[in-house]
Every structure is written in C-alpha cells, then in structure tokens.
A and B are shown apart, each in its own frame.
Chain A
Amino acid sequence: MTDLQEQSTSTGNGDVVISVRGLKKHFPIMKGVFRRQVGAVRAVDGVDFEIYRGETLGLVGESGSGKSTTGRVILQLDDATDGSITYLDEELTTVSTNRMRELRKQMQMIFQDPHACLNPRMTVASIIGEPLVENSTMDKEARRARIDELLTQVGLDPSHANRYPHEFSGGQRQRIGIARAIALNPEFIVCDEPIAALDVSIQAQVVNLLKQLQEDLSLTYLFISHDLSMVRHIADRVAVMYLGHIVELAEVDDLYDNPKHPYTQALNSAVPLPDPIAESTRQRTILEGDIPSPANPPPGCVFSTRCPVAVDRCFTDEPAWRDTGGGHWVACHLA
C-alpha cells in the first residue's frame, strides 16, 4: 500500500467504527406532586467524535462531566435525547430492538467495579458462559472449551472456573469481567474506569492485559478514565470532557505535549508527577472555584467561569468545535 492509500483508508469511512454527531443526553429533573419537569441535567450536551477501528479513544474529565453517560448512550443502555450515533454506518438511535440485540454482541462494556456486576451466586464459568448460552448455538462441551480458552486469555487458571467471584481478588474479578466482555468476539468495548477500583500495582496488570487483547483480537476501545497518566499510556487519541462538552480531542502526544484548551492545560498541570525533582520546579495553573452544575451550565463557553484567560465573548458566545489542523480539535475562542 502506498502512503497515500494508507492515509485515505485510515481516515475513510470504512475505518470508522463509531461516529457520534451532536449527541445529547438530558436527564429530566422532576418536582412536586404532579412530577412536573422543572429542568434537566445536561449530562451530555452536544458532542461529536469518531472512533476508528483498532484504536483506543481515551475519554477523560472530572467527576460528573458526562463520560459514563456518553459511553452508555453509545451502547444504547440509555436513550439519546438528541443527535446521532452510528456503528459501522448503522444508525443506532432508530434501530429496532431486535437488531440492537444482535449488535450488542459486537459492542460490550467493562465496568469500574467488578464486584457490583458479577452475580455473587454464579460460578465464574456460568458468568462467562452466560452470553454464550444466550447468543450462540454452542453445545455444552464447546462452551466449556470456550470458557477455558477465555480464562486463559485473561490470565486466570481454567481450573478455577467453578469458583465464585468472592474467592477472587479485585484484579482477578476485573479479569472475569473482561473475559465475559470478550466472550462473543466483540468489535468494540466501552471500558468505563476499568482500573479505578484497583491498587496501583494491579492496575498495570489489567492495563497490560487490555492492550494485549486489543492486539490479539483487533478490538476498538472507548477508554473512560479520570487518570490522565494512565490514559496517556493506553490511548491513541484522547477526548477531554467538561460539563457535558468535549472541549478538546487530539492524538495522544499532541494533546499532552501541546494542549490548546485552557482546561486541558490546567488539567495537565494539576496531575502530580511521580518525580520529586520535576514536581519541585513545576509551573502550576491552579483553577479557582468548582465545576458548575450541569443542570445550570453557564452561557457562552462552559469553562468560562473557571477559565484563567477568558475574554468578554467567552461569557456570551459558545466557541465552535473546530479542527485546528492535523485532527487536533478544540472548542475555545482563543485556541
């Protein structure tokens, strides 16, 4: 393949697994005896991005910025309020329930708390085998072989298949969740804070496993995390979310070495480095104040109330989402 061809295929539609356009998810706020809607939490308030085949798109941002909601709406676990989501060119917001059930096999999710989503009364074999029973015609023997294969793939001992979740450590439970997620050979996985509940020394194990599986099974990931250092390590491109908006999206090194949005810059400088010498000489931008409520976002730029460089129009006009070159997207009047 020539360079030109390679370029055109890697940005062409054929390589887009997920495409999100103008996506919004508002949760109504009800009040009073008649449960009248008095407002809405604008959890996701108009986001646009693509996820390419085989890549890891990191989605970072602080608590409540709308990361999980974005992931859930993409997988249609929540309905979108507005906008479009396509999976391999198929529109998900209008697809039939039956078709969505089919598509679910190809689109999976890994959660933060491996404890909460593993049924404590089911053995590991039945937890991992459940999607196989529901979605394939495998007989018992074939299923058993597949479960063994999956356990080996995620680094667990197949002879432990008949144990219960509580007999495993946090890191091992996360591996069980991963085995279940890959059981049906999915194309795309939303990893929602998959390592947040794990110890530092165990986080590396799980991240290395996710990377290995991505290579072996050509998986595409949306990797949601508030750990910017880990996202730098695992992602190919990164999107930064703030108050329901994606404010910046770029290739990973570009985003970290050359952040253009004042929020990304502040976020970068707020993450402590495990290096006392670097820390002692670091320039810090300390943001003032707290994140506004998504039920009542500020007019203009969502970041304007905390932005250290805001100018007049930031408080009135919403900055456009634009490519500043080389796929480095940013929504800021000054970038």
Chain B
Amino acid sequence: MIRGEPALEVKDLKTHFNTQDGTVHAVNGVSFTLHEGEFLGVVGESGSGKSVSMASLMRLIPMPPGEIVGGSVMFENQDLLQIDIDELRKVRGGDVGFIFQDPMTSLNPVLTIGNQITESLKLHTELDKKERNSRALELLELVGLPDAAQRLKSYPHELSGGMRQRVMIAMALACTPKVIIADEPTTALDVTIQAQIIEIVRDLRSKLGTALIWITHDLGVVAGLADRVLVMYGGRIVEEAPVRELYATPHHPYTKGLLDSVPRLDQKGEELYSIEGQPPSMYTEPTSCSFAPRCPHAFDRCAQEVPPLRLISPGHKAACFFNVTTGEPYVD
C-alpha cells in the first residue's frame, strides 16, 4: 500500500502512575509514527500499556495518579504534550476522534443521540443548526444504524451494544478527523455484531481516508483490519511490522509465542503452544528485557540490558538480542 505523510509522530513517550504501592511504569519509551490514512493495530497482553500509551497521546489519563514523564507527540506541527489544554480540547473530538470499549462511559445518558452529535459539531465546526442536524443524520446513516432518523431522538440506554458502538463511531467521525483512536471497540460485542462493526470500519476507510489506531487483544481482528501492527509488552513496543510480515515472520519471541498460542477456527490444532510464566511486574523501571523470564531464547545479555528496537527489514523492527533467523544472538 502507498504510505502517506506522517499524521502523528510519537517519540519516547513515558507514563507513570504514582500509587500507594509504588510507581507503575506503564509506558516505558514508546515511539512510533502513524501515517495518513493508515490502519495501525496495537496488540499485547492485559497491562502491557496499550490503553495508557494511546490515551497519553491526548493526555486523557487521570492525572494524578498518572503522569506523563517524557516524550513528544507531534501532530500538525505542534507537540500535543506541550500545548495548552484549551488548544488540546479542540484537537480532541475534532481532528482526533476516540472510540472506547464501553460506549456508555463516553455517551451522555441524559442527552439524545442526535443532541450529542450536534453538540460536538457545534464545538468543532462552523456549521449552522440546520446543517448540524442534517450532518448528524448523515453520520448515523453512514454507520448503518437502522431507522437513523428515529434514532436521533433515542437515548443511549434505548440502544443495543452494537448500536451504541455505531453511534460512537458516528461521533468519532463527526468532525472528519485525521486520526481515530479506537480502544477495544468490539471486545464487549458478540461476534456477529463485531463483524458488522468491522465491516462498517472497512467500508469507511475507503470512503474517508482517516488514519486509525485500533487497540485489541484479538489477533484475528488485527489480521483482517490493520496495515501495520505494534506489539506491546511491559510498557514498550517490542515489535512493529507490516501486518502480513508480522504474521509470516515474527521476530520477537513474544510475538511468535502469542501467534502460536491462538487456536484457529479453520484448523484443528495439536496442543497449543503456551507461553509459560506470568507478565512482568510494572513497579520497577525495566533494566533488562521484560520478556526474558518467559523467553525460550533468553541468554545472559537479556537480563542485563533493555533491548532497543532493531531494524530487521524496511518497516519491520523488533526489540530482541536474539536473531531468530540465524538462531544465534546478534553481534553488535
């Protein structure tokens, strides 16, 4: 695929939570670029820092206890971590839209669907009242909500989970954003409803050209939707690659283990590979490879240094000292 200009450039992002039990090192130096019109999948296990890193981009974490301790997020020639909060509010819901796992947390229960969309349009666009109303209807039709005109007058609780998620997508799209960040938007939905939502998103991509960050733990969803994938572990990106390359030739042992441990619907598998052990504690700043205690290839260096992201081939990076292609450690 043709890659556009960078839409969002994240450098060395670090986020901590200062809790009673100590400092949670949730995001430990995350750098990546999202290109215009690109679909970027973010996978990794629970607690690996997917939500916190992507919410940090828009400073949407609770502060305190959260604290963005370093990094930069360049969007339209400004650093979103530095600009003042009023400027940032214009970006949120304007040029950058959000879709969360549970739409009820982001929909206002006492406002009709129509009002929520028109409010957002009022805040972020120059449209007049009539234009806002017709745009709201157009958006609901765009996301395939049945009886869209009727639904404008509905309250969130009157809709099913799948319908609410469509409304969320409509709201995220309201101000024709350049970037949408979707955090597990289909995880709470049934699989046939998830399929409906994914179909809408695929369809919108060809119509709108919005860039999308899609967080999920479902390697199937990513396979069907993303152009490129970030794999997170222990608050860092441990691998980054074009989607086909990631699935065909994973370079990080965690990615490989993860891919081997998912069963496939279209095949009767043998015993599943299982990554032994537990995810790392996030209470200490990593000084080694966080995956080392679970890694089948770990050797002494892995316990001594944090492996940097290494370029494997154009667009493919992995943070590992072991070269899976040669079966030997890298010498450098």
Cα distance A279–B262 in the bound complex, in angstroms = 16
A residues less than 8 Å from B278 (CB atoms):
169, 171-172
- Residues in A neighbouring B143, C-beta threshold 8 A: none
Cβ-neighbour of A201 out of B162, B191, B247, B261 (below 8 A): B261
The count of A-to-B residue pairs whose CB atoms sit within 8 angstroms is 126
Do B190 and A276 touch (CB < 8 A)? no
Q: Is B275 an interface residue (CB 8 A)?
A: yes
What residue in chain B is nearest A270 (Cβ atoms)? B195
Q: Which of A270, A274, A291 contacts B194 (CB 8 A)?
A: A270
Q: Which of A238-288 contact B (CB under 8 A)?
A: 252-253, 256, 266-280, 282, 284, 286-288
A232 contacts the other chain (Cβ, under 8 Å)?
Answer: yes
B86 to chain A, nearest CB (A): 39
CB of B46 within 8 A of chain A? yes
Whether B266 sits at the interface, judged by CB under 8 Å, is: yes
| Distance of A287 Cα from B194 Cα, bound (Å) | 10
Give min CB distance, B270 to chain A, whole Å.
9
Quote the shortest CB–CB distance from B238 to chain A (angstroms): 13
Contacts of A252 in B (CB 8 A): 268
Q: Does A229 contact B (CB under 8 A)?
A: yes
Residue of B with least CB distance to A205: B274
Residue contact A276 to B199, C-beta cutoff 8 Å: no
Chain A neighbourhood of B264, CB < 8 A: 229, 232, 273-275
- Check A199 against B279 for contact (C-beta < 8 Å): yes
Query: B223 contacts A233, CB within 8 Å?
Result: no
Q: Which of B192, B272, B279 contacts A270 (CB 8 A)?
A: B192
Judge if B91 is at the interface, Cβ distance under 8 Å. no
Closest to A65 in B: B190
Residue of B nearest to A64 (CB): B190
Give the contact-size bracket for chain A. 35 or more
List residues 31-55 of chain A with CB under 8 A from any CB of chain B: none
Complex CA gap A274/B17 in Å reads 33
Q: Is A4 on the interface with B (CB-CB < 8 A)?
A: no
Q: Decide yes or no: A208 and B163 within 8 Å by CB, A63-B190, A272-B221 being known contacts.
A: no
With a CB–CB cut-off of 8 A, which chain B residues contact A169?
278-279
A204 interfacial contact with B, CB 8 Å: yes
CA distance A274 to B229 in the complex (A): 13
Could you tell me the distance in whole angstroms from the C-beta of A104 to the nearest C-beta in chain B? 31
Q: How far is the CA of A211 from the CA of B271 in the complex (A)?
A: 9
The segment from B68-76, B212-220, B307-315 found at the interface with A is B212-220
Given A204-B261, A232-B265, A272 and B192 contact (CB-CB distance below 8 Å): no
> Chain B, 143-164, contact with A by CB distance < 8 Å: what is the 0/1 string?
0001000000000000010110
Report yes or no: A201 in contact with B268, Cβ–Cβ below 8 A.
no
Query: Nearest Cβ in chain B — how far from A322, in angstroms?
Result: 25
Instruction: Report A224 CB to chain B, min CB distance, Å.
Output: 15
Q: Are B223 and A272 neighbours in the complex by a CB distance under 8 Å? A: yes
Number of interface residues of B (CB under 8 A): 45
On whether the beta carbons of A290 and B163 are closer than 8 Å, the reply is yes
Interface 1/0s, chain A 140-151, versus B by CB < 8 A?
A: 000000000000
Give a binary string over B216-246; 1 marks a CB under 8 Å from any A CB, 0 the rest.
0111110110000000000000000001100
Does A12 make an interface contact (CB < 8 A)?
Answer: no
Contact A287 B263 (CB under 8 A): no
Contact of B223 among A200, A208, A275 (CB under 8 A): A275
Contacts of B261 in A (CB 8 A): 200-201, 203-204
Q: Does A62 touch B at the CB level, under 8 Å?
A: yes
Taking the closest CB of chain A, its distance from the CB of B148, in whole angstroms, is 14
Taking the nearest CB of chain B, how far is it from the CB of A87, in angstroms? 29
Residue A228 at the chain B interface, CB threshold 8 Å: yes
Asked if B192 contacts A267 (CB within 8 A), the reply is yes
Selected contact of B265 from candidates A63, A271, A276, A286, CB within 8 Å: A271
Whether A290 touches B265, Cβ cut-off 8 Å, given contacts A226-B190, A271-B220, A273-B224, is: no
B195 CB contacts on chain A under 8 angstroms? 269-270, 284, 286-287
Q: Does A117 count as interface, using CB distance less than 8 angstroms?
A: no
User: Do A208 and B265 touch (CB < 8 A)?
Assistant: no
Interface membership of B276, Cβ < 8 A: yes
Q: B259: CB under 8 A from chain A?
A: yes
> Which A residues between 174 and 221 are near B, CB-CB below 8 angstroms?
199-205, 207-208, 211
CB-based contact B275/A204 at 8 Å: yes
Whole-angstrom distance between the alpha carbons of A2 and B274 in the complex? 38
Which of chain A's residues has its CB closest to B244's CB?
A276
| A201 contacts B275, C-beta separation under 8 Å | yes
Alpha-carbon gap, A63 to B191, bound state (A) = 9
Docked Cα-Cα span, A62 to B161, in Å, equals 13
Contact residues of A with B, CB < 8 Å?
A: 62-63, 169, 171-172, 199-205, 207-208, 211, 226, 228-230, 232-233, 252-253, 256, 266-280, 282, 284, 286-291
List 27 A–B pairs whose Cβ atoms lie within 8 Å, in order of A's numbering.
A63-B190, A169-B279, A199-B279, A204-B273, A204-B274, A205-B274, A208-B274, A211-B271, A233-B272, A266-B192, A270-B194, A270-B195, A271-B220, A272-B221, A272-B223, A272-B224, A273-B223, A273-B224, A274-B223, A275-B223, A276-B247, A284-B195, A284-B199, A286-B195, A287-B192, A290-B162, A290-B193
10 further A-B contacts with Cβ under 8 Å, apart from A204-B272, A286-B192, are: A200-B261, A200-B262, A201-B257, A201-B274, A229-B264, A269-B195, A273-B224, A274-B259, A287-B195, A291-B190
